[in-house]
Structures are given as C-alpha cells and as structure tokens.
Structure 1
C-alpha cells in the first residue's frame, strides 16, 4: 500500500480496488470478503457448511462508485461523474461528503487503497 501524503488533498487521490467482487443479475456490485483468516477455522467452518466468503452488497450509488474505482479516476473525478446522479435537493458538498465517507469506510476495511495522483 502506498504511503499517502497527509498534507495532500483527498480529492487528488486515486482509489484502487483491493478485493474480489462480482455483480448480481440486476447489475449491482457485491464484494466477496474472506470469512476467516485462520486456516484451521476455515476448515472447521467448511465442514459445518459455511461459505468461505461473505457477500457485501452495494446499492445503486455504491455500485456506480465502485465501477469508477479503477485506478485511473481521482476522487474529484468520481465526484464530478456522480453529480449527474444526485437528487435535486442535494448539494455538491453533500455528494462529496457522502463519497469521501464511503471511500474512507472502504479504505478502512481494506477493500480499496489509495495512490497519489
């Protein structure tokens, strides 16, 4: 993972995907997150009929953002592309606030990582 310059602007960072994912039949994204890190726990769980992964499903906005996280768009570019999907009464500040919160959660859980632009 690249060390991020703390003094830089969050909007200049480029998010990259860092986990497996797929789409449902209706086009929504879901992440495939390993259920167990421990090999012996994994073996026990598989014998009990548990799956190896947990699926985390995104809504339409989450799916749209995830598809733009391709290692080439900055956070600012993703925000500008998301502007067309915003509600009439939603300000751009609110769009960027939601976007940065979503990306921060994804980063904290190591589903994405950031690189400097």
Structure 2
C-alpha cells in the first residue's frame, strides 16, 4: 500500500474551479455554479422556473479571500496579504485556512501542490 506524502497546507496554491462564475454585487461577490454537472441533467431534472445554477453570496471576508485566489499565490501568501483586512485579529490565519478548506471541499477551488 502506497504511503501518502504529507503536504503543508500553507505551501499549496488554491485555484478557482473552471465551472464557477463570479459576479460583483456591490462590495461583495456572488459565486454561481450549475446544479448538475451534465447539461442533460439540468434539462430534465431542474423544474421550470427554477434557476439552473446555485448562487452563493460571499460576505466581506469571504470576498477578500476569493479575490486573492488567482492560481499563483500560496495559502501562506494569501494569509499574509489579508493581515491588514483582518486588522491582525488573533486567529485570523486559522479562519482563512478553514475557509479555504471549505471552499475546496465544496468544489469551488482546487489545490495545486508546488509552484507552476
């Protein structure tokens, strides 16, 4: 059985998923993504009058994090750039890390291990 190599989350690069669309709504961002992966499923399984996409409204902190996800910055670099936004609040680093992990779990971002 192969042993998985441990990866330092701070060195991972978050990259936005290709099927997510982004709209600016005032000072915040709205993420949209299809309800179903395949278009035929959307055609047959989404009731008439219902949107074929789900929308997620990010709050101020979520918007600040999302705007820094560019596929080039590591998690560490994103956290460092957000220090001013969070006014060096105690524990903000773990909040940002947990938020990025949740975005990855929900399919909004993917992890890239190592520099491109």
- 1:106 corresponds, among 89, 103, 106, to 103
Determine the structure 1 residue equivalent to 2:11: 12
Cα displacement (A) at 1:35: 1.5
Moved runs in structure 1, 4+ residues, more than 3 A? 37-41, 44-47
1:37 Cα deviation (Å)? 3.8
8 Å contact from structure 1 (residues 16, 115) kept in 2? yes
- Counterpart CA distance in 1 for 2:40 and 2:23 is 30
Change in CA separation of 1:39 and 1:26 when aligned onto 2, cut-off 3 Å: closer
1:67 aligns with 2:64: no
Count, aligned residues: 110
In proportion to residue count, which structure has more helix?
A: 1
Q: How does 1:33-44 map to 2 (within 5 A)?
A: 33-37=33-37, 39=39, 41-44=41-44
CA distance in 2, matches of 1:86, 1:7: 29
Gaps of 5+ in 1: none
Whole-Å separation in 2 of the counterparts to 1:105 and 1:11: 15
Tell whether the 8 Å contact from 1:45 to 1:51 is kept in structure 2 after alignment. Answer: no
CA deviation after TM superposition for structure 1 residue 110, in Å: 1.2
Does 24-33 or 38-47 show the bigger shift?
38-47
Taking structure 1 as the reference length, what is the TM-score of the superposition? 0.81
